[in-house]
């Protein structure tokens, strides 16, 4: 047995266990069976304490599989439904004796429909509306609102006539000639919701029946059986209420609740229940998600919907952007009949057992209980107050099994108290709450937001969760708008949030802060001194992947602005624009900025960012220049497969030889670049900048490239680097590869045109290949590009930053340029017609993109203090 599941107890029954429901507070478990029973177990002695027979007070001959169960939040009611087209409500009393467990259980009411609905496959009780909703074999959704209010008024003999029940009126579903109901729901006419207690209403008899009004039947809600219904908690509401096209206005509703139904027609549909001031309830369709295969099971964990499909597939939707973000596959390709999710761990049940998807790993767990037909996760509170998550599964061999989810309670979180104990009082800022900053950074580092090669890994889901976390964080901190802007299903969304300043004058400015929440892969985790995705505080430094690039500086900016807003001191508007794909070249980012420019802001005065470090460990810096980049791959390939050098050597024109000849023509012997027109518009630096570089070279303690000449080359001159050489085949020294490729990274400087250099590169490489008269083939791919950027270090923003940095660090900052690239800066400047300023946060030893990434706490806190003072001065 896997360590991921710890067996707690196992029970056996003669027939299949089709449905399960846990009452953790009352320490009870309920299991619906194929032979018309609901088995009741306690979790103290693990005994079978009761067996409930369906229809025992109305029809002792009832035989019906119990296909679905649900409960009320207070655990006073159990709801069951199944193959007899009926829903039953059971009153569950308090446990009388914890030693010899006993509990009073009564069948309160049987609910039926005049429509022949067939089997009921799914049921959900919505507590806030006292409404039952269930999905049926005839593809209809039915609901009964104000259930207990209705129950109080149906004591007449006519309403309680048991001969009206479906199994006494109809033949089997597909032979039925029963009536149909209305497909258009509207507001029901009932009184206000009141709490109901069996003890307070002894006149309510166990054979009471209730009829679903025809107005509460949505015929053809799907085009297939409705296998599952999930209720969405409050975290989803803001997203859905602003997004669901076709939804009615809910602003006048006193209560609105959302559900998602999954069907054999391959779709999941979002619906909303709304109640007015009279507690009249109506159901409306919102939107549809096309899963392209039967949706047999569902579960939700914010912000995702998980859909269990056929052939062992689990499709995951981001409900914040309505995008399909991942499709997982179980080792055995059989239908996912049941699905449960807890703390990002996915438990997919099919005939092979349970497949656990966790942190990018896939584990098949054989539970030895036949085909699993039902499952559910619930939390038990131990005597020490600790939460213990449990998984309850039912199989077609009659087994009911209780598991402890040991994998989800391993100590992943670093105690915030432990971190705060290492937080020196001398590092507290005057105006910003650094404990809150630390808390936020701890959360952000825990998201494994690696943007490279996300397909088939947990990184994509973690990135989506991080984006949603940021969206909620902004809302909680007082942003007037906070939303996600989708790019594509395979790319992470962009987060936009606005803090509105209180300045009323025409001098009010709008400042755009750019950042990114994605990170570089941590690589071999054994080479880290600390866990890369756990924030660690040691010796005055914060450690973890992303603390420097770019989550630490981002947190400093967020909390400086939010504190100004909280104190009612924020004068200017500040818009945060955070992308999740910067580390892969910002694909789609320009399109998002253009498409949603009206949301981000038509008028922007300044663009600010912090996405680099100082040039050493001592001197704060302001950056005003970056080189651009063109990354390309050139491949030569043959029609002949990999071959043996002893057989084909000297006969074939070899791709590796061709690619080396091409590479040799890219640069001259003096290291100048041979691409035609490459140096057009490259300008020499002026005397003022030369003097600045000389001063930096003298005072900065750089480990490498520290001379004036080296700074000039690295910051102001273009370059071409051959970064990779790859061949096909096994790598055997006697094998002639069928294909060979080189990676080319070209760094550009202000004045050079990305488009011109890109076009000249492609033409020149093609010409070089043609001179070889080779029988092989050539492919030139441009992987990503970024424009060079040069700011104005004399503008107002840089001068204000210079003053505030000098106050914070007791020294003037160095004005520097860099040899690296940030793809978005020129894009933002061009789209929003504003100047950008770049404020490095960490030190040269931060190890961004490397092992053991770190950020000095003093830099982290001082950055927040500097921005707190700068924002209103711009």
Q: Quick check: is 616 catalytic?
A: no
**C-alpha span between 608 and 606 (Å, rounded):** 6
Distance of CA 774 to the CA centre of its chain: 49
Contacts for 122 with CB less than 8 Å, ≥ 6 apart: 68, 134, 135, 226, 227, 228, 229, 261
H helices of 586-644, where?
589-595, 597-600
Contacts for 799 with CB less than 8 Å, ≥ 6 apart: none
Helix and strand numbers (H, E) in the chain are 17, 47
Residue with tokens 């207690």: 197
Cβ atoms of 84 and 53 closer than 8 Å: no
3-state secondary structure of 35: coil
From the candidates 130, 243, 280, 582, give the one annotated as an active-site residue.
582
290, 326, 451, 737, 868 from 329: Cα distances, Å = 18, 10, 21, 34, 48
**C-alpha span between 280 and 255 (Å, rounded):** 10
Burial 333-345 (b: 16+ CB within 10 A, else e): eebbbbbbbbebb
Q: Quick check: is 709 catalytic?
A: no
**C-alpha span between 373 and 354 (Å, rounded):** 11
Element (H, E) at 400: strand 399-404
Residues facing residue 30 across a β-bridge:
21, 40
Distance of CA 757 to the CA centre of its chain: 38
- Token reading at 652: 């074939």
Nearest to 544 by CA among 143, 857, 152: 857
Cβ atoms of 114 and 179 closer than 8 Å: yes
- Token reading at 533: 């995705």
3-state secondary structure of 589: helix
**C-alpha span between 68 and 79 (Å, rounded):** 8
DSSP string covering 412-466, please?
Answer: -SPPHHHHHHTS-GGG--SSS-HHHHHHHHHHHHHS--B-TT-TTSSHHHHHHHH
Cross-sheet strand order for the sheet of 628-637: 719-727, 739-748, 628-637, 777-786
DSSP 673: B
Element (H, E) at 436: helix 434-446
472, 495, 499, 649 from 239: Cα distances, Å = 10, 13, 19, 64
**C-alpha span between 720 and 559 (Å, rounded):** 40
Nearest to 781 by CA among 636, 587, 581: 636
Cβ atoms of 192 and 145 closer than 8 Å: no
From the candidates 116, 280, 299, 518, give the one annotated as an active-site residue.
518
Catalytic residues: 518, 582
């Amino acid at each position: 047995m896997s360590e991921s599941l710890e067996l707690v107890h196992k029970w056996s029954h003669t027939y299949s266990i089709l449905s399960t429901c846990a009452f953790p507070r009352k320490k009870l478990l309920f299991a619906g069976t194929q032979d018309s029973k609901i088995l009741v177990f306690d979790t103290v002695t693990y005994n079978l304490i009761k067996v409930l027979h369906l229809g025992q007070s109305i029809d002792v001959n009832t035989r019906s599989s119990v296909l679905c169960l649900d409960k009320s939040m207070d655990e006073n009611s159990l709801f069951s439904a199944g193959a007899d087209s009926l829903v039953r409500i059971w009153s569950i009393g308090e446990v009388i004796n914890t030693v010899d467990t006993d509990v009073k259980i009564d069948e309160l009411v049987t609910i039926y429909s005049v429509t022949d609905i067939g089997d009921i496959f799914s049921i959900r009780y919505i507590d806030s509306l006292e409404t039952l909703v269930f999905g049926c074999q005839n593809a209809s959704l039915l609901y009964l609102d104000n259930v207990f209010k209705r129950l109080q008024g149906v004591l007449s003999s006519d309403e309680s006539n048991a001969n009206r029940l479906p199994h006494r009126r109809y033949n089997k579903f597909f032979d039925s000639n029963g009536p149909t109901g209305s497909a258009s729901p509207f507001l029901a006419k009932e009184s206000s919701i009141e709490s109901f207690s069996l003890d307070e209403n002894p006149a309510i008899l166990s054979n009471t029946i209730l009829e679903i009004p025809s107005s509460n039947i949505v015929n053809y809600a799907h085009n297939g059986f409705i296998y599952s219904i999930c209720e969405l908690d409050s975290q989803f509401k803001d997203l859905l209420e602003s997004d669901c096209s076709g939804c009615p206005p809910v602003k006048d509703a006193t209560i609105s609740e959302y559900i998602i139904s999954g069907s054999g027609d391959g779709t999941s549909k979002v619906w909303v229940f709304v109640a007015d001031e009279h507690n009249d309830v109506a159901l409306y369709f919102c939107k549809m998600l096309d899963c392209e295969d039967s949706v047999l099971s569902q579960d939700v964990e914010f912000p995702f919907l998980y859909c269990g499909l056929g052939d062992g597939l689990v499709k995951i939707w981001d409900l914040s952007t309505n995008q399909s973000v991942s499709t997982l596959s179980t080792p055995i390709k059989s239908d996912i009949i049941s699905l449960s999710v807890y703390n990002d761990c996915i438990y997919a049940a099919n005939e092979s057992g349970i497949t656990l998807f966790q942190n990018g790993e896939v584990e098949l767990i054989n539970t030895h209980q036949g085909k699993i037909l039902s499952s559910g996760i619930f939390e038990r509170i131990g005597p020490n107050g600790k939460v213990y998550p449990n998984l309850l599964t039912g199989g077609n061999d009659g087994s009911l099994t209780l598991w402890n989810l040991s994998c989800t309670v391993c100590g992943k979180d670093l105690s915030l108290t432990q971190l705060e104990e290492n937080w020196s009082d001398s590092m507290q800022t005057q105006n910003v709450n650094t404990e809150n900053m630390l808390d936020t950074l701890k959360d952000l580092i825990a998201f494994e937001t690696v943007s490279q090669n996300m397909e088939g890994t947990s990184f994509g889901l973690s990135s989506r969760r991080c984006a949603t976390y940021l969206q909620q964080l902004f809302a909680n901190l007082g942003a007037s708008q906070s939303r996600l802007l989708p790019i594509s299903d395979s790319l992470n969304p962009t987060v936009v949030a606005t803090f509105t300043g209180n300045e009323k004058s025409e001098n009010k400015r709008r400042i755009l802060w750019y950042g990114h929440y994605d990170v570089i892969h941590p690589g071999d985790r054994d080479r880290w001194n600390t866990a890369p995705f756990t924030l660690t505080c040691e010796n005055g430094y914060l450690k973890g992947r992303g603390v420097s690039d770019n989550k630490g500086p981002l947190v400093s900016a967020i909390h400086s602005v939010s504190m100004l807003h909280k104190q009612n001191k924020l004068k200017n508007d500040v818009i945060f624009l955070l992308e999740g794909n910067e580390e892969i070249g910002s694909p789609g980012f320009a399109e998002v900025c253009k498409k949603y420019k009206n949301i981000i802001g038509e008028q922007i005065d300044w663009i600010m960012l912090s996405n680099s470090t100082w040039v050493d460990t001592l001197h704060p810096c302001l950056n005003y220049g970056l080189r651009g980049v063109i990354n390309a791959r050139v491949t030569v390939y043959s029609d002949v497969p990999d071959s043996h050098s002893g057989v084909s050597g000297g006969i074939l024109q070899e791709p590796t030889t061709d690619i080396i000849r091409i590479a040799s023509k890219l640069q001259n012997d003096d290291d100048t670049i041979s691409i035609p027109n490459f140096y057009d518009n490259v300008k020499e630096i002026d005397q003022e900048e030369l003097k600045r570089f000389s001063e930096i070279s003298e005072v900065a303690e750089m480990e490498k490239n520290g001379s004036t000449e080296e700074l000039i080359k690295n910051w102001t001159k273009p370059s071409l680097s051959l970064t990779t050489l790859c061949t096909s085949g096994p790598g055997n020294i006697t094998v002639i590869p069928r294909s060979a490729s080189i990676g080319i990274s070209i760094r550009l400087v202000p004045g050079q045109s990305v488009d011109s250099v890109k076009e000249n590169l492609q033409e020149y490489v093609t010409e070089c290949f043609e001179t070889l008269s080779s029988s092989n083939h050539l492919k030139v791919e441009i992987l990503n590009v970024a424009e060079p950027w040069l700011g104005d270090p004399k503008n107002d923003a840089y001068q204000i930053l210079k003053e505030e940095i000098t106050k914070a660090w007791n020294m003037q900052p160095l004005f520097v340029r860099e040899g690296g690239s940030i793809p978005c800066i020129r894009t933002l400047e061009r789209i929003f017609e504003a100047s950008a300023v770049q404020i490095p946060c960490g030190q040269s030893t931060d190890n961004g993109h490397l092992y053991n990434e770190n950020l000095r706490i003093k830099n982290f806190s001082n950055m927040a203090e500097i921005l707190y003072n700068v924002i209103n001065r711009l």
